[in-house]
Structure 1
Amino acid sequence: MRTRIVTLAVLSATLAIVLFGLPLAAAGALYAEQYKVLDLERQAERSAVRVSNALAEGETPDGGDLDDFAELTFRSVYDGDGTWLLGRGPTEPDEFVLRALRGRVSAGSDDGQLVAAVPVVDKGDVVGVVRVSGSSSTLLWPVGLAWIGMVALAGVAIGAVWLLARRQAARMAQPLDQLTTAAQRLGNGDFSVRLPPVAYAEIDAVGSSLNRTAARLDDLLARERAFSAEASHQLRTPLTSLRLGLESALERPGEDPRPALQQGLRSTERIERTVEELLELARDTHGAVDALDVGALLAEARGQWAAQFDKQGRPLIVVVDPQTPPALASGAAVRQVLAVLLENALVHGSGPVQVTARDAGDAVGIDVSDRGPGITLTDSELFTRRSPSATGHGLGLALARRLAEAEGGHLRLARPAPPQFALLLRAASLH
């Protein structure tokens, strides 16, 4: 691939130089010719001034009047009838001399010669013509030097392109080699591989896709590894409720065990549902989500948690604003977040617990508040998993925030005292 890049760059540079250099060389030669013709006109005008008196009196000018500082040119003088008088020029008047006899300066090239003819005027009459000529090859020799210089510069440019192409090819091949190595590491199970951007859009696109794949696999593996810890935390409350119910039934052997068994079945169903939802969230298999009826979900949560709050003499109040739109989130994730917040209020809070659903503009807000003493931890400490300074908040709130963010929402501490947590979810469009 490197050889292809270098070859293509050199060929492209050569083609560009040829397409640009040839017209430039032709234009340079044409400009040099026009400039030299103008110089011949100036020489002829100077000579015309010197021979004007002699031609006006009908005399033949002196040969010294034709001398000039310019070299490599030939001068000749003609009278008003076109008769050659002196100098090195054609004895018969050519087209340049004939046009000059009509009172116009005539200049151009003819048969390898550059020619300029200037009329000599006395009192409005043409009394003669001064003709100056020179060989094109002799007068335009600087053009040849310029062409040689252009060819040399073209060679230098092509050499520079060759060097730059080799360097660029090496730079392009390096990220491709890195892509190959990263793909091999990913295939061997190293999901931590990441490729930095290299300023090449196409290579960056492939690298970004590989990074996303590695991050996806790494996240999936992390979810599976975290499932046991998260499941133990989320199952602790229903298991405790089940154990307490069974212990309570054992302590009253003469009473009807059916209420305890029914309560145990409800706790078992809750445990089973929690396991299924955690597995679904851990493996990210819930896919696309439908609009979630927040009011129905909060009513379901109240039915599950009201008895536990009633045992502590603390009412669980659910308030749903009629204007609350559906949420675009997984019901399993929202249920787990609510479970964390309600258990947190049950264990660490006091007084009535109120769950409020409201319209938050482009989002759906769910607030959970109680009359507890307040939270002194910072936001980073409160939502850090297994924070050293946490007292029971370590895993649950960190899990709840991660689940909320996975659904495109956000969980934050809206008010530290009395504590109030706010869960913001994306609002589903009603149109």
Structure 2
Amino acid sequence: MRRRLLLSTLAVAVVAVLLLGIPLAYATERLIYDEAQQQVEREAASVVAGVNLREELRQSVTGDQIAKEFPGRYIVVTMADGTQITAGEAPAKGDHVITKMAANDRGIHVQVSRDAGDVEADAVRTFLLIGSLVVLGVGVAVGLAMVQARKLTLPLIDLAETADRLGSGNARPRRRRYGVPEVDRVAEVLDRSAVRIADLLAASREFASDASHQLRTPLTALSMRLEEMIEAAEYPDVVREEGVAAAAQVERLAAVVEQLLARAKHDPTGDAVPIGVDEIVAQQVKEWEPVFRRENRRIGMSGVRGLTAVVSPGGLSQIVATLLDNSLVHGDGEVTIHTKETPTSIVVEVGDEGPGVPPELERRVFDRNVSGRQGTGLGLYLARSLATADGGRLELIRARPATFAIFLRKREEALLAKERVVSGPA
């Protein structure tokens, strides 16, 4: 590309210089010759006037006098009586001369001749000057073309490297600008694309980590159920019961996968329905009791029964499972699940008798990648995200011992919100 720019600019410069230089050279040559002829004509008129003046003053007119006044000229003066006076050296035959004549009313005729060689030398010098300017103009044009080619090609090479980096997965925007509006526009588009690609890559990485964390809890519970089935293989009724529980756990696992896929697409699940809170809580207690029993701990339930909240079953199950898992790992003593009703929400509280949340983590306990021990730091972050997706919220209402509260929408609140969306603003 740089070579093409140089050649095209050079061609344009040469054509422009030739279109300007040739007429200029021709016009300059004509101007030099015209000026030379006019000068000879003025000299002839001057000689006539001088000779006439001397005649009036009755002074003699000699060729030497005239030659001193007009050196380098060959002058022939014809007086009124026919006498001729010559001054200067006569040009040789074949020489190119410029000759002009003048006369007055007293019969004096003057012929002045000038060798055209010096005029031609002036024309040649002028041609050389014009040619030098032409060469200088072409050189300047080539220099400017090289600068412009470098100014255009280097940004394009840089943009090509940026595009190659984006293709290789390095989506960090470079934010370079080059002073060329069109090229800067391309760089700006590439930077925006880099940001979008970085967001997509971050979302993919988050989805992978979220999926690995969220699937761990159902798989752990499923593993425990299968172990129970193996231990109770000699009791068919127990095996059947545990098999049903394992199948339910698999269904929960599939629901979690669907929720994670919806979150990866930045799309709400949209499956929040009125459900009985007792059923979800009882299911989780039943699934987690074996592992708590192995740790010589127990799970207790208290509070108001028969409450109904608008939430997705899989979402509430996952939130409660996350809180139980968090209590198992970080808490101690008995875990209590307390349900109650407030004027605006259905509340499910999960607390234990452990040391609670360290003071330095109280404000960041729901932040991503924040964990008090060797955990992933994703559980509470994802649990809060699931609660928010269903229109509720998850809060730490007491730090020591730790007690978390799930605030869920009541059926009436959900219906009012739906009516406001349908009716629109008043």
Q: Structure 1-normalised TM-score?
A: 0.45
Q: Structure 2-normalised TM-score?
A: 0.46
Structure number with larger C-alpha Rg: 2
